[in-house]
């Protein structure tokens, strides 16, 4: 009797394995890799190798995460690239966020009971996620590619990871929710308007569209001095990019007295509506701790997270005011030049309120090892920003999918090769640091 053939359907064609020529155990080992069905994030590297072997095709977007920004810069208009890449002032905070990760070194352990499929899941705000990875609330994504927020939201929905919708989105809230998919975790980020009625309308729309976590950005009530944008005189919101949420809002339309999204709207009406959205959300007056109770009343029982916390004192105030979580962030270095690196702020904040508040982290993550370090220090989850945007710029939705898979694969491999059996082993025990007590004492 001839040996029985088993066909695995792959993304690059059918691969036939012959039983009798290979053992059942070998088929069990190779089948998921050849078919691209392995549940392991790390297997993405094997898929890339096998695709090249069978088809001579390499990824359309580089897996070298260090090169993403350089390649995106060559592809994008200078205004779009500099808006995303730039920061406040001399951009010392932007560079400091990245270099802070070099202060920490991973100490790999050997001969540990590490398996190919590692448990990287974590429950955040009552929802079990396959990995503690969240899309940062980044707006104006259509500056980078026509797929914009719809493509990014779709990919994060496919992966079962939360997508955070920005108030500065270039696509409407309801459309983003539909692209994200029914039942997938999604959060809404609020640039807190000066008008209470408008704020309530945004929150009501978010709840109606299935956004379950409210992320309140507290560090961007006024825009910083951003030389790259100023040099080109470029502000996307005046051009109508990043104002979709406000232009589509019924309260905003009522206050304006017209609907700027109507095809009969004049150029002047659209300009006024764009400016209204900018002024209403970049209030020029800092929101206050004592007003947080309003958001709690309007949002209801759902989790509320304050994004932009950089000091122990503020993290304790967030706890005192009944917040459910914080995100340790300096807005990617876009607000205060010379500010403390986000990773340096994370350590004492975790020591102060870890276990009492859910703690997120962003600003400076560029690779899987960075994700591992932030989680080892004590962040409950991390947010991804610029690397995902460079993927979007290079290949739209497919670029986002590829870069996210690369980051997850490298993170998974870093965890395993460090001797960690899963996320539960990722702690400060795997880190060596040159962190100085002088910085810590100031926070």
Q: Which residues are catalytic?
A: 331
Question: Is 362 annotated as ligand-binding?
Answer: yes
Q: Taking the CA atoms of 292, 295, 300 and 301 in sequence, report the sign of the dihedral they define.
A: negative
Question: Is 366 annotated as ligand-binding?
Answer: yes
Per-residue DSSP letter, 339: P
Beta-strand pair 381-384/133-135: parallel
Question: Is 296 annotated as ligand-binding?
Answer: no
C-beta atoms surrounding 150 within 10 Å: 22
Say if CB 346 and CB 104 are below 8 A apart.
no
Question: Is 217 annotated as ligand-binding?
Answer: yes
Write the CB contacts of 53 (distance below 8 Å, at least 6 apart in sequence): none
Determine which helix (DSSP H) or strand (DSSP E) holds 296, and give its type and residue range. Answer: helix 292-299
Question: Is 331 annotated as ligand-binding?
Answer: yes
Question: Is 205 annotated as ligand-binding?
Answer: no
Question: Is 189 annotated as ligand-binding?
Answer: yes
CA atoms lying within 13 Å on the CB side of residue 43: 16
Nearest C-alpha neighbor of 186 from the set 194, 175, 195: 175
Q: Output the furthest CA–CA distance in the chain (Å, rounded).
A: 82
Question: Is 307 annotated as ligand-binding?
Answer: yes
Question: Is 334 annotated as ligand-binding?
Answer: yes
CA distance readout (Å), 82 to 130, 140, 206, 242, 432 = 33, 13, 30, 16, 35
Question: Is 435 annotated as ligand-binding?
Answer: no
User: Nearest 5 degrees, angle CA 205-CA 210-CA 214?
Assistant: 75
DSSP string, 131-148: SSEEE-----GGGT-TTH
Tell which phi-psi region holds residue 240, choosing left (phi > 0), alpha (psi between -120 and 50) or beta.
Answer: left
Tell which phi-psi region holds residue 414, choosing left (phi > 0), alpha (psi between -120 and 50) or beta.
Answer: alpha
DSSP string, 43-94: GHHHHHHHHHHHH----SS-S-GGGHHHHHHHHS-HHHHHHHH--STT-HHH
Say if CB 360 and CB 129 are below 8 A apart.
no
User: Nearest 5 degrees, angle CA 178-CA 304-CA 381?
Assistant: 80
CA atoms lying within 13 Å on the CB side of residue 98: 12
DSSP string, 361-391: E-SS--SHHHHHHHHHHT-SEEEE-HHHHHH
Pick out the residues of the known binding site for FMN: 137-139, 166, 189, 217, 307, 329, 362-366, 385-386
Pick out the residues of the known binding site: 83, 137-139, 166, 189, 191, 217, 226, 307, 329, 331, 334, 362-366, 385-386
Pick out the residues of the known binding site for glyoxylate: 83, 191, 226, 331, 334
């Amino acid at each position: 009797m001839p040996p029985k053939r088993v066909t695995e359907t792959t993304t690059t064609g059918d691969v036939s394995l012959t039983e009798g020529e290979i053992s059942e155990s070998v088929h069990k080992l190779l089948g998921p890799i050849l078919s691209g069905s392995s549940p392991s994030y790390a297997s993405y590297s094997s898929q890339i190798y096998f695709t090249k072997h069978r088809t001579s095709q390499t990824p359309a977007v580089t897996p070298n995460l260090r090169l993403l920004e350089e390649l995106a810069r060559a592809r994008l208009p200078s205004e779009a690239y500099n808006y995303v890449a730039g920061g406040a002032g001399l951009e010392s905070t932007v560079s400091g966020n990245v270099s802070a990760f070099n202060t920490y070194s991973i100490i790999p352990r050997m001969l540990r009971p590490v398996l190919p499929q590692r448990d990287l899941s974590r429950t955040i705000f009552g929802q079990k996620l396959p990995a503690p990875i969240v899309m940062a609330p980044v707006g104006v994504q259509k500056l980078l590619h026509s797929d914009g927020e719809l493509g990014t939201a779709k990919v994060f929905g496919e992966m079962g990871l939360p997508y955070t919708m920005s108030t500065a989105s270039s696509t409407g809230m309801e459309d983003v929710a539909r692209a994200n998919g029914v039942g997938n975790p999604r959060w809404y980020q609020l640039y807190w308007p000066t008008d209470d009625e408008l704020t309530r309308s945004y929150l009501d729309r978010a709840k109606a569209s299935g956004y379950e976590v409210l992320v309140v950005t507290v560090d961007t009530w006024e825009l910083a001095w951003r030389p790259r944008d100023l040099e080109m005189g470029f502000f996307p919101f005046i051009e109508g990019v990043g104002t979709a949420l406000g232009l589509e809002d019924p309260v905003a339309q009522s206050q304006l007295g017209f609907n700027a999204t109507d095809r009969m709207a004049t150029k002047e009406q659209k300009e006024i509506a764009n400016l209204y959205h900018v002024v209403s959300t970049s209030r020029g007056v800092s929101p206050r701790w004592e007003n947080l109770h309003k958001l709690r009343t309007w949002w209801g029982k759902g989790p509320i997270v304050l994004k932009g916390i950089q000091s122990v004192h503020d993290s304790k105030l967030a706890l005192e005011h009944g917040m459910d979580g914080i995100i340790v962030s300096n807005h990617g270095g876009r607000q205060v030049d010379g500010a403390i690196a986000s990773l340096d702020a994370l350590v004492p904040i975790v020591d102060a309120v870890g276990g009492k508040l859910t703690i997120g982290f962003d600003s400076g993550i560029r690779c899987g090892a960075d994700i591992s370090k932030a989680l080892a220090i004590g962040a409950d989850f991390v947010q991804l920003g610029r690397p995902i945007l460079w993927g979007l710029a290079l290949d739209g939705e497919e670029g986002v999918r590829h870069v996210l898979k690369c980051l997850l694969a490298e993170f998974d491999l870093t965890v395993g090769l460090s001797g960690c059996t899963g996320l539960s082993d990722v702690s400060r025990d795997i880190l060596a640091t040159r962190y100085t007590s002088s910085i810590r004492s100031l926070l």
